[in-house]
Amino acid sequence: MNWDAIGAAGEIIGAAAVVVSLSYLAIQIRTSNRAVKQAASREIMDEIFNWYGQISNDVTISDLWLRGCAKDSSLTKAEVFQFSVIMQQAVVIWERMSHLEESGEIEQWFLDHVKAARRTMAGSPGFQSWFQASQRDMSDHLRNKLLEEIEASIRQPQLNTVESTTG
Listed residue (133, 124, 104) closest to 149, CA to CA:
124
Specify whether the CB–CB gap between 143 and 135 falls below 8 A: yes
Looking at the chain, the whole-number percentage of residues with pLDDT higher than 70 is: 93
- Answering whether pTM is above 0.95, one says no
Whether the per-residue pLDDT at 102 is higher than 50: the answer is: yes
Mean of the per-residue pLDDT values of the chain: 86
Listed residue (133, 123, 128, 134) closest to 95, CA to CA:
134
The tens digit of pLDDT for each residue in 34-51 reads 888 888 888 888 999 899
Q: Where are the domains of the chain?
A: 38-166
Q: Which helix (H) or strand (E) holds 85?
A: helix 77-102
Helix axes 77-102, 59-69, angle to 10 degrees: 80
